[in-house]
Structure 1
Amino acid sequence: MKRTPFKKIALLAGSFIVVTGGSIAANVPKIAEEFPTIPLQVVESLTTIPSLFLIFSVLFSHTIARWIGYKKTVLLGLGIVTVSGLIPVFVHNFWVIFLSRAFFGIGIGLFNSLLVSFIRYFYEGKERATMIGFQSAFEGIGGMTISFLVGQLLKISWQTSFWVYIAALPAFVLFALFVPDIPAEPSGFSGKRGADDARERDTEGKGKGKMRAGTFGYIALLFVVVMFYMSITVRVTPLMTTIGYGDATDGSNILSFIGIGAMAAGFLFGQIFTFIGKYTLPIAFLLLGLSLFAVGQSNSVLVTGLAAALCGFSFRTFIPYLFNKVNSSHTGNANLSTSLLLVGFNLGAALSPYGIALLEKLFRLASIRAIFTTEAAILLGFSAVSFGYHFFVGPRKAIE
C-alpha cells in the first residue's frame, strides 16, 4: 500500500485535538460570571466532563468500528468533536454547553484508540514506533497550541474562544481524503501478509490470556504513573507560591516547559527506542523520578522549569513505549489493550488529586515538597525493579 506523507499527516492530525478537552480551563471564571446561578464546581466540570465520557466511548469504539467500518468511525468521532466543540460559540444555555462537552469526550473516545489501529496496520518495526512517538508529540503540541489560542481569543469573549475547535475540521478532511479504510479482522492488524497472517492468528489464539494479564499490569502501572505525573500540574504553582520563588504566571510557564519536553520525546521516541530498546521503561522511570525529586527540592524557577521539561520528556517516553509494546506483540487483543490503556490513562488523570491526597494520608506528608520527594522515591523504586528484571530475570528466561 502506498505510504504518502499526506497519509501520515492525516493520521497525526487527529491526535492534535485528543488532549484539548481541558484546554478551555481559562474560560471557567468568565463562564461562572455569565451563569451565576450555576455552582462553581459544575462550571469547573466543563473541563473534566470530556474525559469521563471519553472513558465510556473508547471501550465501545472498536465494536462500533467492526459494525460500520474503521474509517467511518474515526470520521464520525471527528465530526462529533467538530460540531460539539463549536456549539458553545452559538449557544447561550449552560446545560446545552454542558451536554456538548460530554459529546466532545464521546467523539474523542470514538477515534482515539482507532488511530493506533491504523498506525499498527500501515507501519511496522521502527517506523511504527516512530509514528506512535509522533502521535504522542502531536497530542502535546495540540494541547499547548489550543490552550494558547483559547487564552488569546478569551480577550474577545469566552464564547469566541471555543472557535479553537474548528481545528477538528481539517483533521476530518485530511483523514477522509488520504487514509484508506482498514479491515476489521484481527489478522488485518499485523502489518504483514500471506503466511505471516496465519502464523500470527495461531500465536494470538495461544497467547491471548497471557497478553491480557500483562496488559492489566501495564494499566495499573500507567494509572499510578499518570497520577504522579499530574501532580506537577496540580501542585507546582502552590509549591512555588508557598515557598516564595514564583507566582501564578511562573506556574503557568512551568506547564509550557512540560509540553516542550513532551514534544521532544514524541519526535525522538523512534530513535530512543531503537537505541536503548528494552531499557526504555526503566530509564523513563529513572528520569521521571529524578525530575520530580528536583521539582520538590528546587528553590528556583529555572531549575523547576528544567525539571518540568525532563518530566514531560520522560513521561512521553513512557507512554508511547507502552502503546508500542501492546501493538507490536502477536499475542492478545491489541485493540482491547489499547482501549484499556487509554481508560487507565484518563482515570489516572481524573483521579490524580485524590491519589495525591491518599499519598499524603498514607505517608503522613506535611508539605508539598514531601509529596514530590515521595513520588520520586516510588518511581526510582519502579526503575530499580525494572532494571533488575531485565538484568537478571530476562536473560534467564531467554536461556530457558
Structure 2
Amino acid sequence: MIMKKLLEKVSILSLSLVLTTSFSISSALPSMFEYYKELPKSQIELLVSLPSAGIMATLFLNPFIERFLDERKMIISGLSILSVSGMVPFFNQAYPILFISRLIFGMGVGLINAKAISIISERYHGRERVQTLGFRGSAEVVGTALITLLVGFLLQFGWTTSFLAYAAGFLVLFLFMIFVPYHHLEEEHHVQTSQKEPLKKEEWRLTIILAILAAMIVLCNVAVTLRIPSIVAYTFKDQHNSSSLILSAMQLIGILAGITFSGFVHLFKTKLITYAGIAYGLSLLAVALSPNISVLAFSALISGYTYSTALTMVFQILSANIPPQRLNQVTSVAVLGCSTGAAITPFALTFIGLISQNNAFIFTILGLAMAFLSFSLLYLLKDYHE
C-alpha cells in the first residue's frame, strides 16, 4: 500500500516535468537565427514563448472542455498533444508549420497545467501539502533541466534534432496511465464541477495580486532563458558552448529550492514570497552586471533558486487561503498569469529595447521592477496567512 501511494504521488508529480519545457529549446536559438536569417530575431524568439499563448487559450476554454472530457482524459490528451506537436519541427522546418506546432504544443500543456497543481492541493493537506508543492516545483525545474540538457546534446546533430527531446512526454504519459488510478481523478473532477462556487471579493483580490506577481516572475525567468544564450554567444565568445549548461544548472537548482521550501515556509510564513522575490530581482541585476562567465553562471543559479521558491509560494498562498471547491478555479487564473508573463516576454524585451538594446540595461530594469513588486507584497498580503 505504501509503495502504491508513493508511485501514485511520483506519477502525479511527473506531470510537472513537462509544464515549462517549451523554453528548453532556447539553446537552439543561435542556430535558428542562422537558419531563418531573413526573419527578425524577435520573430524566432517568439517561437520559444509562443506555447504560452496556446496555454492561455486552453485555460479560457477549459470550462467548456470539461463538459466533454473528465480530468483523466484531459491530462492524457494534453500529454499526447504536447509530445507529438513538440517533435513536429524535426520533420518540417517551414516557419508557419513551426508556429502552428508550437501553438498546439502550448494547448496540450494547457490541458494539464492547472490540474497538475490543483490535484496536489486537493489531495494533500498540512505539512504534506507544503512539502509536495515544493517537490512539484522541483519536478517542474528538473523536467526543464533534463530536457534542456537533452536539447544541448541533440543540438550537435542539428537544431531540428533537438526537438526530439519532447518525446520524453510519452514517458510521463506512461507513468500517469499506469500508476494513477482512474476513479480517484473521476471523483475529484466530480467534486469540482458539482461544488463550484463563485469567488468572494477578497478571494478575487488575492488571486489577481498573485496572478500579476506570477506573470512578472515568469516574464523575468523567460527573459533570462531567452537572452543567456545570446549573452554567452556574443559577449563571452570563447564560452559559446556554456549556455545549455548554465540554463540546465539554473533549472536544476530548483531541486534544492523544492527540498528547502517547506522549511522556509515554516520559518518566514507568507513573507517568504517577498524575500524570495527581492532576492530574485537582485539576481537579475547580477546577471546584468556579470563581468565574466563564472559570475553569470552564479547569478543564473541564484535566479533559478529564487524563481522556483517565489513561484511555488504563489500556489502555496492560494492553497492556504482558498477553499478546495474553488481552488481549481483560482489555480487556473494564477497559471493564466504565468502564461501571460511568458507570452508577453518577447514584446516586453522589444519595448525595453526601444530605449536600449543592451542586455545589462534590460535586466537592470527587470530586476528593479521585480524587487519593487515583491516589496509591495508586504502591504498587499498583510491580511493573508501562510
Residue 27 of structure 1: how far off its partner (Å):
4.9
What are the superposed Cα offsets for residues 259-302 of structure 1, whole Å, 9 maximum, x if unpaired? 13333212322232223212211111221122223333332332
Label 1:239 to 1:34 Cα distance change in 2 as closer, same or farther (>3 A). Answer: closer
Residue 106, structure 1, aligned to residue 107, structure 2: yes
Aligned counterpart, 1:174:
175
Find 2:330's aligned residue among 337, 348, 353.
337
Aligned counterpart, 1:68:
69
Aligned counterpart, 1:319:
311
Q: Which amino acid in the other structure matches residue 136 of structure 1?
A: G
Find 2:368's aligned residue among 370, 373, 377.
377
Kindly report which structure 2 residues correspond to 1:117-266, keeping only aligned pairs within 5 A, or say none. Answer: 117-180=118-181, 181-183=184-186, 188=191, 208-236=200-228, 247-266=239-258
Contact 1:69 1:184 in 2 (8 A): no
Label 1:146 to 1:242 Cα distance change in 2 as closer, same or farther (>3 A). Answer: closer
Contact 2:24 2:151 in 1 (8 A): yes
Q: Which moved more, 1:230-239 or 1:35-44?
A: 35-44
Higher RCO, Cα 8 Å, sep 6+: 2
Find the aligned partners of 1:286 and 1:41 in 2 and give their Cα distance: 29
Contact 1:50 1:105 in 2 (8 A): yes
Contact 1:237 1:247 in 2 (8 A): no
Residue 57 of structure 1: how far off its partner (Å):
0.9
Aligned counterpart, 1:23:
24
Residue 135 of structure 1: how far off its partner (Å):
1.8
Find the aligned partners of 1:83 and 1:166 in 2 and give their Cα distance: 7
What are the superposed Cα offsets for residues 12-56 of structure 1, whole Å, 9 maximum, x if unpaired? 222112222233345567678888998877666543332221211
Equivalent pairs: percent with the same residue? 26
Residue 111 of structure 1: how far off its partner (Å):
0.9
Label 1:52 to 1:257 Cα distance change in 2 as closer, same or farther (>3 A). Answer: same
Aligned counterpart, 2:278:
286
Label 1:158 to 1:226 Cα distance change in 2 as closer, same or farther (>3 A). Answer: closer
Q: Max radius of gyration: which structure?
A: 1
Aligned counterpart, 2:298:
306
Q: Secondary structure at the match of 1:47?
A: helix
Label 1:78 to 1:388 Cα distance change in 2 as closer, same or farther (>3 A). Answer: closer
Find the aligned partners of 2:270 and 2:57 in 1 and give their Cα distance: 32
What are the superposed Cα offsets for residues 199-249 of structure 1, whole Å, 9 maximum, x if unpaired? xx7xx9586232122211222222233333333334456666777697544
Label 1:379 to 1:151 Cα distance change in 2 as closer, same or farther (>3 A). Answer: closer
Q: Secondary structure at the match of 2:204?
A: helix
Contact 1:62 1:114 in 2 (8 A): no
Residue 272, structure 1, aligned to residue 272, structure 2: no
Find the aligned partners of 2:231 and 2:24 in 1 and give their Cα distance: 22
User: TM-score, normalized by length of structure 2?
Assistant: 0.82
Q: Which moved more, 1:70-79 or 1:335-344?
A: 335-344
Q: Which amino acid in the other structure matches residue 4 of structure 1?
A: K
Q: Which amino acid in the other structure matches residue 343 of structure 1?
A: L
Label 1:245 to 1:134 Cα distance change in 2 as closer, same or farther (>3 A). Answer: same
Aligned counterpart, 2:58:
57
Q: Which runs of 5+ in 1 are unaligned?
A: 190-196
Aligned counterpart, 1:348:
341
Kindly report which structure 2 residues correspond to 1:348-367, keeping only aligned pairs within 5 A, or say none. Answer: 348-359=341-352
Q: Which moved more, 1:234-243 or 1:115-124?
A: 234-243
Find the aligned partners of 1:274 and 1:103 in 2 and give their Cα distance: 40
Q: Secondary structure at the match of 1:67?
A: coil
Label 1:183 to 1:104 Cα distance change in 2 as closer, same or farther (>3 A). Answer: same
Residue 297, structure 1, aligned to residue 300, structure 2: no
What are the superposed Cα offsets for residues 311-369 of structure 1, whole Å, 9 maximum, x if unpaired? 111111111111122233235832222122222212212322432454566xx668543
Contact 2:216 2:370 in 1 (8 A): no
Aligned counterpart, 1:193:
none
RMSD, aligned α-carbons: 3.7
Contact 1:141 1:263 in 2 (8 A): yes
Q: Which amino acid in the other structure matches residue 380 of structure 1?
A: A
Label 1:4 to 1:336 Cα distance change in 2 as closer, same or farther (>3 A). Answer: same
Find the aligned partners of 1:378 and 1:35 in 2 and give their Cα distance: 33
Q: Which moved more, 1:143-152 or 1:245-254?
A: 245-254
Q: Which runs of 5+ in 2 are unaligned?
A: none
